[in-house]
Amino acid sequence: MLQAADAAHRGQFVVDTLCKDLSICIVKMQDAEACRSNSEDGNAASDTRHDTGETTMKSHFLLKGLAAAAFLLGATFSAQAEDALARVKAAGTMKVGTETAFAPFDFIDAGEHAGLNVDVFAELGKELGVEIEWIALPWEGVLPGLEAGKFDMVAGPATITKARMERYRFTPPVAEATVAILKKAGDTSITKPEDIAGKKIGVGKATAQLAQLQGYSEKLPEKVDIREYPAFTESYADLAAGRIAGVANSLPNIAFVASQRKDTFEVVQPPFGQKAYFGFIGTKDADHAPLMDAIDAALLKMKGDGRLAKLQEKWFGASFDTPDAVTDPSF
């Protein structure tokens, strides 16, 4: 906030100086025109009127240009003086990007956006004193959308990885994200993770789960036939129809899906992925740092007063023992 205040102070100084210069220019031009008019004799009155009019027109355009420059400069410094948190609070709205095909975090239920993220961000909005505006995109477009400035942060959530931490800033974890396999109920050909060798396994496109599945496949005697899907809901549909043998996704997600359709799906234990966590994402820059600081503080407050655990129990049937921060992801 100090940087923003300094920027505002410097910007105001420049604008004030330019405005003073404008005033001086106006006075000098008026004096010059008056002197010229008084110095001409009566015989040259028509020439004087012509010259004075031309001078006045030039002065008019010059002053308009200087005034426009002052306005634009002032607007620029004003925008620079406000960080992302200040802009969000001034607007009264925080724009949040996500995909709505990632139950139980985000999904469409009876035409309405529902899930853990909806409930958590409703609480975050209360803490910040703002409304939440949701912007839904396919997952492969969500993080690029954040970088393009389409929204203030990403719900997702996203698996916290080393590569992502180099590029983005994560909030404290909101759930576990270790990857496991979902299979058809009663399928005895898959009783443990390594049984997926050589089988068709679905996974989300451009996801951390895909990277985990690819790495695990390399360790098996026969590589997995990996099928990528734009949305996990499509992979679940193909699994139910028997077009694939399983789906690789984070344990909380597939546990929720299996609990909703017990006659159709079953979770393969134990998970095959490395220990991982989900977090919300923001950009890694000074402008968004105050906003992310406020989000972090609000999440930790929710964790401390039990609100986060209650929401986890609502959507997962159990709460997670997540760390207050992830500084060194396992992959």
- The reported pLDDT for the residue numbered 327 is 81
Mean pLDDT of 37-60: 48
Mean pLDDT of the chain: 84
Architecture per CATH, domain 87-176+277-316, reads as 3-Layer(aba) Sandwich (3.40)
- The reported pLDDT for the residue numbered 318 is 86
Q: Which amino acid is at 230?
A: P
Q: Which of 29-43, 249-263, 300-314 has the lowest mean pLDDT?
A: 29-43
Spell out the residues 6+ positions from residue 213 whose beta carbon is closer than 8 angstroms to its own: 179, 201, 203, 224, 226, 248
Q: Which of 129-133, 159-163, 242-246 has the lowest mean pLDDT?
A: 159-163
Question: In this structure, what token pair is assigned to residue 153?
Answer: 């942060």
> What CATH number does the domain located at 179-268 have?
3.40.190.10
- The reported pLDDT for the residue numbered 1 is 37
- The reported pLDDT for the residue numbered 26 is 47
Mean pLDDT of 58-69: 50
- The reported pLDDT for the residue numbered 307 is 98
Residue 25 vs residues 57, 68, 71: alpha-carbon distances, Å: 14, 15, 17
Question: In this structure, what token pair is assigned to residue 74?
Answer: 């002032």
The three-state secondary structure class of 182 is strand
- DSSP-H helix ranges across 176-288: 208-217, 232-240, 251-260
**Digit-coded pLDDT (tens) for 184-211:** 999 999 999 999 999 999 999 999 999 9
| Predicted TM-score (pTM) above 0.75 | no
Query: For tokens 């993770």, what's the residue?
Result: 193
**pLDDT reading at 244 higher than 80:** yes
User: Distance between CA atoms of 249 and 180, rounded to whole angstroms?
Assistant: 6
**pLDDT reading at 88 higher than 50:** yes
- The reported pLDDT for the residue numbered 320 is 87
Number of H helices, E strands in the chain: 11, 14
User: Distance between CA atoms of 177 and 251, rounded to whole angstroms?
Assistant: 6
Mean pLDDT of 256-272: 96
**Order of strands across the sheet that contains 225-229:** 225-229, 200-204, 246-250, 179-184, 265-268
**Digit-coded pLDDT (tens) for 127-148:** 999 999 999 999 999 999 999 9
- The reported pLDDT for the residue numbered 186 is 97
- The reported pLDDT for the residue numbered 3 is 41
